[in-house]
Amino acid sequence: MDLHGEYRESVARLAGRIREYAPADIIDRFARVSRFDPSSFLTCPSGFEGTVCAVDGSNALLLDAGSFSAAVVRASASSYRGGVRHGRATTPMHLVAVHPDGCNDEFEALFSDCFASSPKALLYHDDPLQNAAVMRDTLEYWVALEMAGTLDAGDLILIDGTLRVSHASHDEILVRLMNLCNLRGILLAAVTKRTSLTWGGGYPIVPAAEGLAKKYGVPEPWFVRVSGLEAILDRQQSRPWKQRGDQYIARLHHRSQRAFKVELPRYDSCETVATVFSGLAAYADDGRITGYPYPLLDAHLTTKIGKDAVDQIRQDLMRGMAEQGMSHREYVRLFGDYHDEFDRY
Protein backbone atom coordinates (compact mmCIF):
# COMPACT_ATOMS: atom_id res chain seq x y z
CA MET A 1 0.00 0.00 0.00
CA ASP A 2 1.40 3.39 -1.03
CA LEU A 3 0.30 5.47 1.95
CA HIS A 4 1.92 8.67 0.74
CA GLY A 5 0.41 8.26 -2.72
CA GLU A 6 -3.07 7.64 -1.34
CA TYR A 7 -2.72 10.72 0.86
CA ARG A 8 -1.74 12.90 -2.13
CA GLU A 9 -4.74 11.56 -4.06
CA SER A 10 -7.00 12.33 -1.11
CA VAL A 11 -5.67 15.90 -0.94
CA ALA A 12 -6.19 16.36 -4.68
CA ARG A 13 -9.71 14.93 -4.51
CA LEU A 14 -10.74 17.22 -1.64
CA ALA A 15 -9.14 20.26 -3.29
CA GLY A 16 -11.21 19.49 -6.37
CA ARG A 17 -14.39 19.31 -4.34
CA ILE A 18 -13.60 22.66 -2.75
CA ARG A 19 -13.03 24.15 -6.19
CA GLU A 20 -16.43 22.78 -7.27
CA TYR A 21 -17.98 24.36 -4.16
CA ALA A 22 -16.49 27.76 -5.01
CA PRO A 23 -15.79 27.83 -8.78
CA ALA A 24 -13.64 30.54 -10.29
CA ASP A 25 -16.64 32.07 -12.10
CA ILE A 26 -18.97 32.02 -9.09
CA ILE A 27 -19.43 35.82 -9.21
CA ASP A 28 -20.50 35.82 -12.87
CA ARG A 29 -22.85 32.89 -12.25
CA PHE A 30 -24.40 34.70 -9.31
CA ALA A 31 -24.81 37.91 -11.32
CA ARG A 32 -26.70 36.02 -14.02
CA VAL A 33 -29.12 34.17 -11.78
CA SER A 34 -29.67 36.85 -9.12
CA ARG A 35 -30.00 39.72 -11.63
CA PHE A 36 -28.46 42.00 -9.03
CA ASP A 37 -27.11 45.29 -10.34
CA PRO A 38 -25.28 48.06 -8.44
CA SER A 39 -28.58 49.52 -7.23
CA SER A 40 -29.39 46.24 -5.44
CA PHE A 41 -26.66 46.99 -2.89
CA LEU A 42 -27.82 49.66 -0.43
CA THR A 43 -25.57 51.92 1.62
CA CYS A 44 -25.73 51.70 5.41
CA PRO A 45 -26.75 55.16 6.63
CA SER A 46 -24.65 56.90 9.27
CA GLY A 47 -25.69 58.54 12.50
CA PHE A 48 -27.25 55.81 14.67
CA GLU A 49 -28.05 57.30 18.08
CA GLY A 50 -29.76 54.50 19.97
CA THR A 51 -28.43 51.88 22.36
CA VAL A 52 -27.07 48.66 20.90
CA CYS A 53 -27.54 45.67 23.22
CA ALA A 54 -25.85 42.42 22.21
CA VAL A 55 -26.82 39.03 23.66
CA ASP A 56 -24.75 35.86 23.53
CA GLY A 57 -24.43 32.59 25.42
CA SER A 58 -21.84 29.93 26.15
CA ASN A 59 -21.76 26.28 27.14
CA ALA A 60 -19.04 23.79 28.03
CA LEU A 61 -18.91 20.10 28.84
CA LEU A 62 -17.64 19.50 32.38
CA LEU A 63 -17.68 15.74 32.84
CA ASP A 64 -18.45 12.81 30.56
CA ALA A 65 -18.81 9.23 31.72
CA GLY A 66 -20.43 8.10 28.48
CA SER A 67 -23.69 7.22 30.19
CA PHE A 68 -23.74 10.39 32.30
CA SER A 69 -22.50 13.90 31.51
CA ALA A 70 -22.47 17.33 33.13
CA ALA A 71 -22.31 20.71 31.41
CA VAL A 72 -22.36 24.41 32.32
CA VAL A 73 -24.26 27.18 30.52
CA ARG A 74 -24.74 30.93 30.88
CA ALA A 75 -25.73 34.01 28.84
CA SER A 76 -24.73 37.67 28.86
CA ALA A 77 -25.73 41.05 27.46
CA SER A 78 -23.48 44.03 26.65
CA SER A 79 -24.99 47.45 25.98
CA TYR A 80 -23.35 50.34 24.10
CA ARG A 81 -24.41 53.90 23.41
CA GLY A 82 -22.42 56.57 21.63
CA GLY A 83 -19.64 54.05 21.05
CA VAL A 84 -19.15 53.49 24.79
CA ARG A 85 -20.18 50.46 26.83
CA HIS A 86 -22.57 51.47 29.57
CA GLY A 87 -23.83 48.14 30.86
CA ARG A 88 -23.19 44.42 31.22
CA ALA A 89 -25.38 41.65 32.60
CA THR A 90 -24.57 37.97 33.03
CA THR A 91 -26.62 35.07 34.28
CA PRO A 92 -25.14 32.80 36.95
CA MET A 93 -23.37 29.64 35.82
CA HIS A 94 -26.04 26.97 35.43
CA LEU A 95 -24.85 23.38 35.83
CA VAL A 96 -26.89 20.64 34.16
CA ALA A 97 -26.82 16.83 34.10
CA VAL A 98 -27.40 14.69 31.00
CA HIS A 99 -28.08 10.96 31.19
CA PRO A 100 -29.90 8.45 28.94
CA ASP A 101 -33.07 8.29 30.99
CA GLY A 102 -35.94 9.85 29.08
CA CYS A 103 -36.59 13.60 29.11
CA ASN A 104 -34.33 16.25 30.54
CA ASP A 105 -36.29 17.47 33.55
CA GLU A 106 -33.64 20.10 34.30
CA PHE A 107 -34.44 21.74 30.96
CA GLU A 108 -38.11 21.82 31.84
CA ALA A 109 -37.29 23.44 35.19
CA LEU A 110 -35.01 26.04 33.59
CA PHE A 111 -37.56 26.83 30.89
CA SER A 112 -40.29 27.27 33.51
CA ASP A 113 -38.08 29.54 35.62
CA CYS A 114 -37.26 31.72 32.63
CA PHE A 115 -40.64 31.97 30.92
CA ALA A 116 -43.21 30.98 33.58
CA SER A 117 -44.55 28.21 31.35
CA SER A 118 -43.75 24.65 30.40
CA PRO A 119 -41.95 23.91 27.11
CA LYS A 120 -44.21 22.63 24.34
CA ALA A 121 -41.48 20.27 23.13
CA LEU A 122 -39.44 17.96 25.35
CA LEU A 123 -35.66 17.70 25.39
CA TYR A 124 -34.30 14.17 25.44
CA HIS A 125 -31.04 12.97 26.96
CA ASP A 126 -29.47 11.84 23.70
CA ASP A 127 -26.56 14.23 23.11
CA PRO A 128 -24.76 16.08 25.93
CA LEU A 129 -23.53 18.93 23.77
CA GLN A 130 -26.88 19.36 22.05
CA ASN A 131 -28.63 19.39 25.42
CA ALA A 132 -26.24 22.03 26.72
CA ALA A 133 -26.71 24.13 23.57
CA VAL A 134 -30.51 24.08 23.92
CA MET A 135 -30.27 25.16 27.55
CA ARG A 136 -27.78 27.87 26.61
CA ASP A 137 -30.28 29.12 23.99
CA THR A 138 -32.96 29.14 26.68
CA LEU A 139 -30.89 31.53 28.77
CA GLU A 140 -30.06 33.65 25.71
CA TYR A 141 -33.75 34.11 24.84
CA TRP A 142 -34.55 34.94 28.46
CA VAL A 143 -31.82 37.61 28.58
CA ALA A 144 -33.01 39.04 25.25
CA LEU A 145 -36.59 39.25 26.54
CA GLU A 146 -35.41 40.94 29.72
CA MET A 147 -33.47 43.52 27.71
CA ALA A 148 -36.43 44.07 25.36
CA GLY A 149 -38.47 45.01 28.40
CA THR A 150 -36.02 47.69 29.52
CA LEU A 151 -34.73 49.34 26.34
CA ASP A 152 -36.29 52.35 24.63
CA ALA A 153 -37.87 52.69 21.21
CA GLY A 154 -35.18 52.97 18.56
CA ASP A 155 -32.68 50.85 20.48
CA LEU A 156 -31.26 47.72 18.86
CA ILE A 157 -30.96 44.17 20.20
CA LEU A 158 -28.35 41.97 18.51
CA ILE A 159 -28.46 38.18 18.71
CA ASP A 160 -25.57 35.94 17.76
CA GLY A 161 -27.10 33.49 15.30
CA THR A 162 -30.36 33.53 13.37
CA LEU A 163 -34.06 34.26 13.78
CA ARG A 164 -34.65 30.53 13.60
CA VAL A 165 -34.73 28.14 16.53
CA SER A 166 -32.78 24.91 16.93
CA HIS A 167 -35.33 23.35 19.30
CA ALA A 168 -39.11 23.47 18.85
CA SER A 169 -39.70 24.65 22.42
CA HIS A 170 -38.10 28.00 21.59
CA ASP A 171 -40.32 28.85 18.63
CA GLU A 172 -42.99 30.48 20.75
CA ILE A 173 -40.30 32.31 22.74
CA LEU A 174 -38.74 33.76 19.60
CA VAL A 175 -42.20 34.89 18.47
CA ARG A 176 -42.74 36.45 21.90
CA LEU A 177 -39.43 38.31 21.62
CA MET A 178 -40.22 39.59 18.13
CA ASN A 179 -43.72 40.68 19.15
CA LEU A 180 -42.40 42.53 22.22
CA CYS A 181 -39.75 44.31 20.16
CA ASN A 182 -42.32 45.25 17.52
CA LEU A 183 -44.76 46.53 20.15
CA ARG A 184 -42.14 48.66 21.93
CA GLY A 185 -40.41 49.93 18.79
CA ILE A 186 -37.15 48.11 19.56
CA LEU A 187 -35.05 46.98 16.63
CA LEU A 188 -33.91 43.37 16.41
CA ALA A 189 -31.20 41.70 14.31
CA ALA A 190 -29.38 38.38 14.26
CA VAL A 191 -25.82 38.25 12.95
CA THR A 192 -24.36 34.97 11.72
CA LYS A 193 -20.59 34.50 11.67
CA ARG A 194 -20.86 31.43 9.43
CA THR A 195 -23.90 30.49 7.36
CA SER A 196 -24.97 27.35 5.50
CA LEU A 197 -27.13 29.38 3.11
CA THR A 198 -26.36 28.37 -0.48
CA TRP A 199 -27.72 28.84 -3.99
CA GLY A 200 -27.63 27.03 -7.32
CA GLY A 201 -27.09 23.58 -5.84
CA GLY A 202 -24.54 24.26 -3.13
CA TYR A 203 -22.65 27.47 -3.93
CA PRO A 204 -21.97 29.71 -0.87
CA ILE A 205 -23.95 32.92 -1.10
CA VAL A 206 -21.86 35.25 1.08
CA PRO A 207 -18.68 35.25 -1.06
CA ALA A 208 -20.80 35.36 -4.23
CA ALA A 209 -22.67 38.49 -3.13
CA GLU A 210 -19.54 40.05 -1.70
CA GLY A 211 -17.57 39.42 -4.89
CA LEU A 212 -20.36 40.88 -7.02
CA ALA A 213 -20.43 44.06 -4.90
CA LYS A 214 -16.68 44.40 -5.38
CA LYS A 215 -17.03 43.86 -9.14
CA TYR A 216 -19.62 46.64 -9.27
CA GLY A 217 -17.45 48.94 -7.17
CA VAL A 218 -20.04 49.27 -4.39
CA PRO A 219 -18.49 51.23 -1.48
CA GLU A 220 -18.73 49.87 2.08
CA PRO A 221 -20.70 49.72 4.25
CA TRP A 222 -23.44 48.08 2.20
CA PHE A 223 -26.22 45.51 2.56
CA VAL A 224 -28.33 43.52 0.11
CA ARG A 225 -31.51 41.52 0.66
CA VAL A 226 -31.27 37.90 -0.51
CA SER A 227 -34.60 36.62 0.82
CA GLY A 228 -36.15 37.63 -2.51
CA LEU A 229 -34.05 35.02 -4.33
CA GLU A 230 -36.20 32.02 -3.42
CA ALA A 231 -35.99 30.74 -6.98
CA ILE A 232 -32.23 30.18 -6.71
CA LEU A 233 -31.70 29.67 -2.97
CA ASP A 234 -31.23 26.05 -2.00
CA ARG A 235 -33.80 24.45 0.26
CA GLN A 236 -32.28 24.18 3.71
CA GLN A 237 -32.88 20.64 4.95
CA SER A 238 -31.80 21.64 8.46
CA ARG A 239 -34.76 23.99 8.98
CA PRO A 240 -37.41 22.03 10.84
CA TRP A 241 -39.11 25.21 12.04
CA LYS A 242 -40.18 28.38 10.33
CA GLN A 243 -37.74 30.99 9.11
CA ARG A 244 -38.84 34.04 11.08
CA GLY A 245 -36.71 36.66 9.38
CA ASP A 246 -35.60 38.15 6.08
CA GLN A 247 -32.02 37.41 5.15
CA TYR A 248 -29.40 39.95 4.10
CA ILE A 249 -25.72 39.95 3.25
CA ALA A 250 -23.79 42.92 4.63
CA ARG A 251 -20.23 44.18 4.54
CA LEU A 252 -20.09 46.70 7.36
CA HIS A 253 -16.60 48.19 7.01
CA HIS A 254 -14.18 48.70 4.14
CA ARG A 255 -11.42 46.88 6.07
CA SER A 256 -13.57 43.90 6.97
CA GLN A 257 -12.11 40.54 5.99
CA ARG A 258 -15.52 39.34 4.85
CA ALA A 259 -19.23 39.99 4.81
CA PHE A 260 -21.80 38.48 7.15
CA LYS A 261 -25.34 37.20 6.91
CA VAL A 262 -27.87 39.24 8.91
CA GLU A 263 -31.51 38.39 9.62
CA LEU A 264 -34.19 40.95 10.45
CA PRO A 265 -37.88 40.47 11.27
CA ARG A 266 -40.09 40.33 8.20
CA TYR A 267 -42.32 43.07 9.59
CA ASP A 268 -39.51 45.67 9.32
CA SER A 269 -40.16 48.51 6.89
CA CYS A 270 -37.48 49.66 4.44
CA GLU A 271 -36.78 52.62 6.72
CA THR A 272 -36.41 50.34 9.74
CA VAL A 273 -34.07 48.02 7.85
CA ALA A 274 -31.86 50.97 6.93
CA THR A 275 -31.79 52.11 10.57
CA VAL A 276 -30.75 48.63 11.75
CA PHE A 277 -27.85 48.54 9.30
CA SER A 278 -26.92 52.05 10.38
CA GLY A 279 -26.54 50.69 13.92
CA LEU A 280 -24.57 47.67 12.76
CA ALA A 281 -22.15 49.75 10.71
CA ALA A 282 -21.72 52.28 13.51
CA TYR A 283 -20.28 49.54 15.73
CA ALA A 284 -18.20 47.66 13.16
CA ASP A 285 -14.91 49.58 13.34
CA ASP A 286 -13.21 47.69 16.18
CA GLY A 287 -9.66 46.81 15.15
CA ARG A 288 -9.82 43.31 16.64
CA ILE A 289 -12.50 41.98 14.28
CA THR A 290 -13.10 44.86 11.90
CA GLY A 291 -16.47 44.64 10.21
CA TYR A 292 -18.12 42.59 12.97
CA PRO A 293 -20.37 44.49 15.45
CA TYR A 294 -18.18 44.78 18.52
CA PRO A 295 -21.03 44.74 21.08
CA LEU A 296 -21.47 41.09 20.01
CA LEU A 297 -17.74 40.53 20.46
CA ASP A 298 -17.95 42.03 23.94
CA ALA A 299 -20.96 39.86 24.83
CA HIS A 300 -19.06 36.79 23.58
CA LEU A 301 -15.98 37.60 25.66
CA THR A 302 -18.15 38.35 28.70
CA THR A 303 -20.10 35.11 28.60
CA LYS A 304 -17.34 32.79 27.36
CA ILE A 305 -16.72 29.85 29.71
CA GLY A 306 -13.00 29.32 29.37
CA LYS A 307 -10.72 26.49 30.42
CA ASP A 308 -9.87 28.12 33.75
CA ALA A 309 -13.56 28.40 34.64
CA VAL A 310 -14.22 24.80 33.59
CA ASP A 311 -11.27 23.57 35.68
CA GLN A 312 -12.52 25.53 38.70
CA ILE A 313 -16.04 24.12 38.38
CA ARG A 314 -14.61 20.60 38.09
CA GLN A 315 -12.63 21.13 41.29
CA ASP A 316 -15.77 22.40 43.02
CA LEU A 317 -17.68 19.36 41.78
CA MET A 318 -14.95 17.02 43.03
CA ARG A 319 -15.19 18.63 46.48
CA GLY A 320 -18.95 18.33 46.37
CA MET A 321 -18.76 14.67 45.40
CA ALA A 322 -16.24 14.06 48.18
CA GLU A 323 -18.75 15.51 50.63
CA GLN A 324 -21.22 12.96 49.23
CA GLY A 325 -18.77 10.21 50.11
CA MET A 326 -17.30 9.61 46.65
CA SER A 327 -13.60 8.75 46.65
CA HIS A 328 -11.13 10.01 44.06
CA ARG A 329 -10.78 6.45 42.74
CA GLU A 330 -14.54 6.27 42.17
CA TYR A 331 -14.41 9.63 40.39
CA VAL A 332 -11.65 8.45 38.06
CA ARG A 333 -13.55 5.23 37.30
CA LEU A 334 -16.55 7.31 36.25
CA PHE A 335 -15.01 10.30 34.53
CA GLY A 336 -11.40 9.41 33.78
CA ASP A 337 -10.56 10.00 30.12
CA TYR A 338 -7.90 7.93 28.41
CA HIS A 339 -7.38 10.79 25.98
CA ASP A 340 -5.87 12.72 28.90
CA GLU A 341 -3.45 9.83 29.35
CA PHE A 342 -2.71 9.71 25.62
CA ASP A 343 -1.85 13.42 25.64
CA ARG A 344 0.97 12.71 28.08
CA TYR A 345 2.93 10.85 25.40
pLDDT tens digits for range 34-89:
999 999 999 999 999 999 999 999 999 998 887 788 899 999 999 999 999 999 99
The DSSP 8-state label assigned to residue 146 in this structure reads H
pLDDT of residue 129: 83
My answer on whether omega of the bond before 23 falls inside 30° of 0, hence cis, is no
pTM of the entire predicted model: 0.91
pLDDT bracket for residue 238 (50, 70, 90): very low
Q: For the chain, what is the mean pLDDT?
A: 90
Q: Using a pLDDT cut of 70, give the percent of the chain over it.
A: 94
The Cα-based distances of 118 to 105, 111, 134, 145, 173 in angstroms read 11, 7, 15, 17, 11
- Residue 97 phi/psi, 5-degree rounding, is -105, 145
- Rounded CA separation 313/309 (Å): 6
pLDDT tens digits for range 278-333:
999 999 999 889 999 999 999 999 999 999 999 999 899 889 988 989 888 888 88
pLDDT tens digits for range 175-231:
999 999 999 999 999 999 888 899 999 999 999 999 999 999 999 999 999 998 988
Average of per-residue pLDDT across 156-180: 94
Nearest 5°: the CA angle 19, 263, 275 is 125
pLDDT at 155 over 90: yes
Complete domains list, the chain, with CATH: 42-303 (3.30.2170), 316-342 (no CATH)
